Amino acid sequence: MNSLTPGEWQAIWLTAKLAGLTTLILLVLSAPLAWWLARSGNRFTNLAAALVSLPLVLPPTVIGFYLLLVLGPQGAVGGTLESLGLQHLAFSFWGILIGSVIYSLPFAVQPLREAFAGIDPRLLDAAATLRAGPMDRFFSVVLPLSRSGILTAVVITFAHTVGEFGVIAMLGGSIAGETRVVSIAIYDHTQALEYAAAHRLSAILLGFSFVTLFLFYAINQRVMSPLKAR
């Protein structure tokens, strides 16, 4: 197998950057949202849960299409940016980052929601009697007891973003150094009948996916073992 070209290394770096930023952003956004979904019982919970889970059933090309309309030069967001003398977000790295955050949202929220829902409320009540405030209880009680859910959210979100194609293809196209991630590069190579190059990148994604899942299950087993022993 031939060595990777500079363009392919660039696509790998861009993919890692996109997946890393998406995971970091979603951890910050998903934690309070998942906590609210797990603990709230009002009538808006089901509506919010349905909206969060929508990317699970919608084709990624649909999400990418509507984001293209919104973030493009004629869209509400893109048009506003253009009127301010700024560049619209379609066919840019920041555009596909927004698309990845939206499309990967349920993959971060669901594991966190399940982990938060499994926490015994009596532990939080006990912390409250010790005068621990809501934020203190969340960081000192909730997060340590949700290690497995946090790990799951991180791994699934990162891996899902690495393999994403539809949203990026619709919203970002294939611009080298800007939106041409590994999945797009594989598609480009295949369209050009460059099967050896497509195989190189596909083999890397296959190996990455297997190693990621193997490490995830191994680490998750070690995290869960002390909890089950209690």
Model pLDDT for residues 197-227, shown as the tens digit of each residue: 999 999 999 998 898 888 888 877 776 665 5
Question: Which H/E stretch holds residue 117?
Answer: helix 93-117
* Cα gap 108→132, rounded to integer Å: 27
Each residue's pLDDT tens digit, 153-184: 999 999 999 989 999 999 999 999 999 999 99
Question: Closest by alpha carbon to 106, among 25, 26, 44?
Answer: 26
Each residue's pLDDT tens digit, 102-136: 999 999 999 999 999 888 888 887 887 877 777 88
pTM of the entire predicted model: 0.89
Higher pLDDT, 155 or 3: 155
Task: Copy the structure tokens of residue 159.
Answer: 């891996």
Listed range (11-15, 67-71, 122-126, 209-213) with the worst mean pLDDT: 122-126
Each residue's pLDDT tens digit, 17-58: 999 999 999 999 999 999 999 888 777 888 899 999 999 999
| pLDDT score at 169 | 94
Q: How far is CA 1 from CA 4, 6, 80, in A?
A: 9, 16, 48
Q: Dihedral, CA atoms, 217, 221, 222, 226, nearest 10 degrees?
A: 160
* Cα gap 206→155, rounded to integer Å: 15
Length of the chain: 230
Burial pattern 35-50, b for ≥16 Cβ within 10 A else e, equals bebbeeeeeeeeeebe
- Of the CA atoms within 13 Å of residue 30, those in its CB half-sphere come to 31
Q: Is 147's pLDDT higher than 90?
A: no
Q: φ and ψ at 74, to 5 degrees?
A: -100, 0
Task: Copy the structure tokens of residue 198.
Answer: 């497509």
| pLDDT score at 114 | 92
Q: Is 230's pLDDT higher than 90?
A: no
| pLDDT score at 44 | 84
* Cα gap 102→63, rounded to integer Å: 9
